[in-house]
């Protein structure tokens, strides 16, 4: 299990759209023994989003669009990872911080968590895929309301909206997250986990017929390998 911590306390503001170097992340997850990844924030908060002063300062640079695209490419990469990625949320999860959480496969939050996409109140819109992922995850009317009002919701509302999957007592958030990962990955080979995640991810990125064909291919590979393993065990 790997842990990626957003570390810029106290609010864990994002100084750049690409909050972790994508090449470093690729190298890390290439370790086939890695079965899951947690993304969390240091201290009391997950992330309160972009540092607005740095963001507006960057907006006049020639490579501003490229920087935003790098941040979006990072979140796209996280969303399509072939290991489960869990956002472990506490405190503020705003703006770019929420967009990071939306790219994760599972969101677990503490009871004191609060969520918002405040960009429209700053004369902006969510810029790291938030308009797309939020409207796919919760109902479109709720996404419209949340984005245009720049309104804040608490953990119970987030659970009702299906923005998060689990709400846990603050002291138990870490234990709950580790236990969930253990339940999902214990006694599962890395290959089974990664093939399952690839097939699940294909359901959202490929036409149904192509996703089904890839599922069959992955299933057959695993079935042949498992049959061979059981045959070898039977001979011992």
Residue among 99, 174, 186, 226 flagged as catalytic? 99
Buried b (16+ CB within 10 A) or exposed e, 9-40: eebbbbebbbbbebeebeeebeeeebbbbbbb
Single out the residue of 111, 103, 157 nearest to residue 134, CA to CA. 103
Identify whether the C-beta of residue 113 lies closer than 8 Å to the C-beta of residue 173.
no
DSSP 8-state secondary structure symbol assigned to residue 85: E
Measured CA to CA, the distance from residue 18 to residue 120 in angstroms comes to 21
Mapped onto helix, strand or coil, the DSSP state of residue 129 is: coil
Residue 115 CB neighbour total at 10 angstroms? 25
Asked if the peptide bond before residue 10 counts as cis, ω within 30 degrees of 0, the response is yes
Let me know if 149 is a catalytic residue: no
Residue 93 CB neighbour total at 10 angstroms? 30
Q: In three state form, how does the secondary structure of 37-84 look?
A: EEEEECCCCCECCECHHHHHHHCCCCCHHHHHHHHHHHHHHHHCCCCC
Let me know if 18 is a catalytic residue: no
Measured CA to CA, the distance from residue 97 to residue 126 in angstroms comes to 11
Residue among 119, 172, 225, 226 flagged as catalytic? 119
Identify whether the C-beta of residue 179 lies closer than 8 Å to the C-beta of residue 173.
no
* Residues carrying an active site annotation: 99, 119
């Amino acid at each position: 299990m790997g842990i990626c911590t957003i570390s810029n306390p106290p609010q864990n503001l994002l100084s750049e759209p690409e909050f972790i170097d994508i090449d470093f992340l690729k190298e890390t997850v290439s370790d086939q023994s890695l079965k899951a990844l947690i993304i969390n924030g240091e201290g009391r908060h997950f992330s309160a989003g972009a540092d607005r002063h740095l963001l507006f300062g960057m907006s006049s640079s020639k490579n501003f669009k490229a920087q935003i695209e790098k941040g979006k490419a990072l979140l796209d990469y996280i969303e399509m990872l072939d290991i489960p990625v869990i956002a472990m949320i506490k405190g503020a999860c705003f703006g770019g911080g929420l967009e990071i959480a939306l790219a994760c496969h599972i969101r677990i939050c503490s009871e004191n968590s609060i969520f918002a996409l405040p960009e429209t109140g700053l004369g902006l819109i969510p810029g790291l895929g938030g308009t797309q992922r939020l409207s796919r995850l919760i109902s479109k009317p709720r996404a419209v309301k949340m984005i245009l009002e720049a309104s804040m919701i608490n953990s119970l509302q987030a659970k009702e909206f299906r923005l998060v999957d689990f709400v846990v007592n603050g002291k138990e958030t870490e234990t709950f997250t580790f236990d969930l990962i253990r339940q999902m990955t214990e006694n599962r080979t890395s290959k089974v986990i990664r093939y399952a995640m690839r097939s699940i991810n294909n359901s959202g990125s490929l036409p149904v017929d192509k996703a089904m064909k890839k599922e069959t291919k992955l299933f057959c590979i695993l079935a042949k390998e498992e049959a061979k393993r059981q045959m070898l065990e039977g001979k011992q």
